A = this chain, B = another copy of it.
């Protein structure tokens, strides 16, 4: 464990938190289990009531024939893409340059499957129909991540999704949804999960992001696809004797939060608006399309950190526990709105943003590099 930063320490001590669902401590599990009948039997290597019921529930929610519970999205998505490559006999897939598979998985897809990847679009924008139409031949599957997390959670329009889906179907290309945060974008689209998933051949959904479970993922699709994915799940060592600690928690927090995505989305726009009203600060996207956004600050991490510390200390609201350097003149942090925001008294939120704006102006408006 690295030494916690000063910002992390002060953030941890604040009474309120602007974002997220709360500390990831073991109470998250204890709460999900405290009312459960202890005699409920464990799942057993992918069989049993606990896992089968939850898989059915999620298949139905996502509008797919079947679904399978995976320990992680990393495992689920590599497997989905491998199945589509095997089907086509072409070991090539296409996705965004900042896809989770490209930057967070130690090249698992390439190292384990020798699948070639085609990067679509520029790093700073989402994939468009033209990117898919102009990509090289032989791509077995295109992966779309909704929202595109690494660029603040941006989204293509629903029409673009429909166009890409239609193009892929007509051209024998499978379309896979990296829906790590699928539920979080449904309010923006004004669609059900099933309506979005209908455009995709396979769908992955995370159970610990907006839903706030402990870990785990759902992969959904047609029956034959799911049957194949279970074979690969065993090959990966993901077919654990018991996955119930994750499943019961996922089910518990899904029921608690799936219907709250509209609220998180509304609060996300509200809070982004507050950040955008502060000197030197802007959000990406300018108006969020989900519960998440990035906060960009046009000053160095070293300049910004003392200001955040002061605001957090004075108001007791943890705005962020980290600041990432973009370059010597700018930095950013990520925000995922969750249950914590509504616990803060409104007037305190206003005070925190007023203070942030004042401090930014006071300390930084004379900086030569900022107009």
List residues of chain A with CB under 8 Å of any chain B CB. 1, 23-30, 33, 36-42, 44, 47-49, 52, 70-76, 78, 105-108, 111-113, 208, 214-215, 231-232, 234-246, 248
Contacts and interface: CB of A to CB of B under 8 A. Distances in A.
Nearest to A47: B1
A28 B42 contact: yes
Contacts of A33: 26, 29-30, 33
B1 A214 contact: no
A23 B41 contact: yes
A25 B39 contact: yes
A361 B106 CA distance: 62
12 contacts: A1-B52, A26-B37, A29-B33, A30-B38, A42-B214, A71-B71, A72-B237, A74-B234, A111-B235, A214-B241, A215-B241, A236-B237
Given A74-B237, A238-B238, 4 more contacts: A1-B49, A26-B36, A106-B231, A214-B241
Contact of A24 (B28, B44, B208): B44
A70 to B, nearest CB: 8
A30 B52 CA distance: 21
Contacts of A239: 72, 74
A26 B215 contact: no
B26 A40 contact: yes
B248 A72 contact: no
A232 B108 CA distance: 8
Nearest to A73: B237
A44 B44 CA distance: 26
A27 B49 CA distance: 16
A69 to B, nearest CB: 13
B241 A105 contact: no
Contacts of A240: 71-72, 215
Nearest to A111: B235
B108 A234 contact: yes
Contacts of A36: 26, 30
Nearest to A113: B112
A39 B24 contact: no
Contact of A40 (B25, B208, B241, B243): B25
Contacts of A235: 105-108, 111-112
A70 B238 CA distance: 10
Contacts of A113: 112
Contacts of A246: 245
A70 B72 CA distance: 13
